[in-house]
Structure 1
Amino acid sequence: MISWNVRGLNDPRKCLVVKNLLWEWKCDVVCLQETKIASMNRQLVCSLWSCPYVDWAVLEANRTAGGILHMWDKRVLDKVEVMVGTFSVSVKWKGVGDDFIWACSGVYGPNENNERGHMWDELVGIQQYWRLPWCCLRDFNIVCFPSVRRGETRLTLAMEKFSEFVEELNLVDLPLEGGSYTWLSGSDQPAMSRLDRALVTLDWEDHFSNVIQRILARPISDHCPILLEAGAMARGKSPLRFENMWLKMEGFVDRVQSWWNWHSFVGTPSFVLAKKLKALREDIVHWNCREFVNVERQKKQLLEELKTLDAKEGDFGLTDGEKCHRADLRSQVEHLLSLEEIS
């Protein structure tokens, strides 16, 4: 599962980066906060997640503020019920493979203290209404302890209310791997906080084995994507997806024509067509592995460097040279992801 405050999806280039990262991460559940999209539709959802089995629920933005998009793979989870609140989108699912019924809430919290009480009430109401194993993916826009905000030493009333919410519902605040902070302001003296996290109930954690929460690299946005890995989710075989970068390779169309003509089968027209398509698929898969293995390796290396620099900034700070290097890394990642545009 991925939870990510993308800070707006109105920029086509940003949407392309999100789309290709989601394809690479192969997730079953995606929760995007602060979409800033006032009217969501299937075409836009499918343009963000190239999963043909996608279903979704949405809290639309107030003009260009806020907004939550909750997406999932229908091969893995069947929707039972949806609740859309003021600060959250919650879905009750039944696992396709194991019939396990659980709920997940995607949350984008307010910045004003006087509104946070309403958010806590909304989430408590959702959890107590369903009384199910529950996972909460969110950007609460508040931390629960001074230690998860750089330079903070004072325990505020808002932090105390957050901690009371966690204690009241007996939630597990999963450990975070890969860094201490999930939000960095990007200024010369950046503010840093752990605003993004997953909270789960004990029965949810008991069902999903080896739950791990970790930070991923952030080529866009000032929030890091959060990956929540949980066992016991299984999907069917992923289909071959056409990647537009193939058309940018000289001779690709001629290769496909040659492969198609090379294969010969005997049988009914439908049988021959199915066999030739299967053989062509294998040819394309093998060719793709040979031609683009270096691109894939380079992209993973760049994303790992980005994550390392973000973690270093949280712990020790970055020099001006390292900040320039990080900006260059983001530009390179965006370029590589644009090559991998998927149809």
Structure 2
Amino acid sequence: MWKANDAKWLTVDVVGSSGGILITWKSSKWDLVSSSSGTFLMSMIIQDKSSSSQYLLSVIYGPISQSLRASLWDELSQVRRSFSGPWCVVGDFNITRYPEDHSRRRRPSSAMARFSNWIQQEELIDLPLLGARFTWTNGRASPIQSRLDRLLVSPEWLEAFLTIKKITLPRTTSDHYPILLTVEDENWGPKPFRFNSSWLHLEGLHQKIVEWWKSFQVKGFAGHKLLYRLKLLKEKLKEWRREETQNREAKIEALMSELQKIDRVSKEVPMSK
């Protein structure tokens, strides 16, 4: 993955045929400040060598047992109380949050409710998942699929990385889809986006905005729902603006081509007055 002298790692051993956690990082970019582990959890505070900013990362492999799962929520809450900065919780939670997180749409359960309550209690943000709808499959001809894997971040993490996206990658040998948390334009900084009020007078745009807004499925408490809907709307408007610019340039190019043809013809045949 990286050259040997640049890679550091921490592990939690498997329990029977399940579990196990591996965290790796580039030692040239990150310093490990502290770490702690449990049966289903590994947490670490890391420091960016270039900025000295610190971040808390918790990686989990969730248990199936409801009692053990309750212990995991308590343990994660204790970890959070030890650090007030940006926090990211990622892993296979082994529990779905909503009925639509399952391909066969299960009924709401008390376990789902407790999971959602814990997320809201810790004020974590369940980032929208781009790419695949589900993160796990049993791989059969008529597969059962569900969203067991999640990546949750604190408001402080979101403030530190304004342009993060959570994307599923192609599945290879595992029955889980890898999830990539990526920061766009990290080296260049966020690009300003300006909404031109004259766009509202363009035919069809108002209806598009209404349709886009209704299509956004964002989970979380009210403030973050609004934040992410606005963020997704901005992305849609950027895409629309690019398409409009390309269409406009294509039309200009076509008109210029026609004018050149007319110009050539006018040089060969005098145009009538």
Q: What TM-score results when the alignment is normalised by the length of structure 1?
A: 0.52
Give me the whole-angstrom Cα distance separating, in 1, the residues matched to 2:28 and 2:175. Answer: 32
Counterpart residue identity of residue 119, structure 2: V
Bigger-Rg structure (1/2): 2
Q: 1:127 aligns with which of 77, 80, 97?
A: 80
Q: Is the 8 A contact 1:89 1:106 kept in 2?
A: yes
Q: How do 1:1-343 residues align onto structure 2 when only pairs under 5 Å count?
A: 23=1, 50=3, 52-230=5-183
Give me the whole-angstrom Cα distance separating, in 1, the residues matched to 2:4 and 2:101. Answer: 35
Give me the whole-angstrom Cα distance separating, in 2, the residues matched to 1:109 and 1:201. Answer: 19
Q: Deviations over 1:114-148 (max 9, x none)?
A: 21101111111111122221011110000111111
Q: Percent identity over the alignment? A: 34
Structure holding more strand per residue = 2
Report the CA distance shift for 1:90/1:111 in structure 2 as closer, same or farther (over 3 A).
Answer: same
Measure how far apart 1:85 and its partner are.
1.5
State how many pairs are aligned. Answer: 187
Give me the whole-angstrom Cα distance separating, in 1, the residues matched to 2:125 and 2:143. Answer: 29
| Structure 1 residue runs of 4 or more that deviate by more than 4 Å after TM superposition | 231-234
Report the CA distance shift for 1:124/1:68 in structure 2 as closer, same or farther (over 3 A).
Answer: same
Counterpart residue identity of residue 120, structure 1: W
Measure how far apart 1:188 and its partner are.
2.3
Q: Deviations over 1:132-181 (max 9, x none)?
A: 21011110000111111111241101100110110000001011111210
Measure how far apart 1:76 and its partner are.
1.6
Counterpart residue identity of residue 183, structure 2: A
Counterpart residue identity of residue 65, structure 1: S
Greater RCO (Cα-Cα under 8 Å, separation 6 or more): 1
Give me the whole-angstrom Cα distance separating, in 2, the residues matched to 1:82 and 1:93. Answer: 9
Give me the whole-angstrom Cα distance separating, in 2, the residues matched to 1:165 and 1:72. Answer: 28
Q: Is the 8 A contact 1:216 1:226 kept in 2?
A: yes
Q: Is the 8 A contact 1:90 1:104 kept in 2?
A: yes
Q: Secondary structure at the match of 1:223?
A: coil
Report the CA distance shift for 1:168/1:232 in structure 2 as closer, same or farther (over 3 A).
Answer: farther
Q: Secondary structure at the match of 1:61?
A: strand
Measure how far apart 1:92 and its partner are.
0.2
Structure 2 stretches lacking a partner, 5+ long:
188-273
Report the CA distance shift for 1:171/1:180 in structure 2 as closer, same or farther (over 3 A).
Answer: same
Q: What TM-score results when the alignment is normalised by the length of structure 2?
A: 0.65
Q: Is the 8 A contact 1:173 1:200 kept in 2?
A: yes
Counterpart residue identity of residue 145, structure 1: Y
Q: Is the 8 A contact 1:87 1:107 kept in 2?
A: yes
> CA-atom RMSD, angstroms?
1.7
Give me the whole-angstrom Cα distance separating, in 2, the residues matched to 1:179 and 1:72. Answer: 26
Measure how far apart 1:51 and its partner are.
5.0
Give me the whole-angstrom Cα distance separating, in 2, the residues matched to 1:203 and 1:232. Answer: 19
Measure how far apart 1:231 and its partner are.
5.5
